[in-house]
A and B are shown apart, each in its own frame.
Chain A
Amino acid sequence: NAGVTQTPKFRVLKTGQSMTLLCAQDMNHEYMYWYRQDPGMGLRLIHYSVGEGTTAKGEVPDGYNVSRLKKQNFLLGLESAAPSQTSVYFCASSLPDVQDTQYFGPGTRLTVL
């Protein structure tokens, strides 16, 4: 099992460009999450999904959109990237009754110039 995978691993964007980060999990987890991590900060929840076709806002949702068209995939979109979105992005997944046990992907390091 691959667990949770993220694509791409690194990306550099110019201000105003758009991109989509892909998260995939093969553990049949219902719940999926997108976090961002900035230096000296913990993980901050951007958006999450409790099942296929559903999404909800987290702590810092502005500037991001998400979609969960398939149970195993959770996409994070940046429509118009800003330097403030330079960060490391982590995807995670969990079972619905053990949400406190989350499995994380390796992360995507995004730089916006």
Chain B
Amino acid sequence: GQSLEQPSEVTAVEGAIVQINCTYQTSGFYGLSWYQQHDGGAPTFLSYNALDGLEETGRFSSFLSRSDSYGYLLLQELQMKDSASYFCAVRAEDDKIIFGKGTRLHILP
């Protein structure tokens, strides 16, 4: 079967750094994406990794290790507005996108 595993919840303090991990087991692999979703809102695209390494976009960075079937999203200088759910997603066989169940990020003042 195809599966993505990520922690269900993570708590961090405002101004700190937090890492959200994602491990995947899929048939075929083209790349790993990350999406953010605020309560009651729609998912919005954050980042994409097709090759091993780190991609940086402002306060957010995403990492991929294809050999370990593992990636993570790194959020720096946390702000209260970063409180949301974060989903990893893999484009697998037949070009279908498979989403993880999401990690709810709680930020404490």
Query: A residues engaging B (CB < 8 A)?
Result: 33, 35, 40-45, 48, 58-59, 90, 92, 99-107
Closest 6 CB pairs of A and B: A42-B99, A104-B42, A43-B99, A100-B33, A42-B101, A100-B48
A101 and B45 contacting across the interface, CB-CB below 8 Å:
yes
Task: Indicate if the CB atoms of B44 and A104 lie closer than 8 Å.
Answer: yes
Known: A42-B100, A42-B101, A43-B87. A103 touches B45 (CB 8 A): yes
CA distance A99 to B33 in the complex (A): 10
Q: How many positions in chain B have a CB within 8 Å of any CB in the partner chain?
A: 23
> What is the bound-complex CA distance between A78 and B53, given in angstroms?
43
| Neighbouring A residues of B44 by C-beta, 8 Å | 104
Total contacts A to B, CB within 8 angstroms? 54
Q: Enumerate chain B residues within 8 angstroms of A33, measured Cβ to Cβ.
A: 97
Are B42 and A100 in contact (CB-based, < 8 A)? no
A45 to B97, CA, bound (A): 8
B91 within 8 A of partner (CB): yes
| A35: B residues at CB distance < 8 A | 99
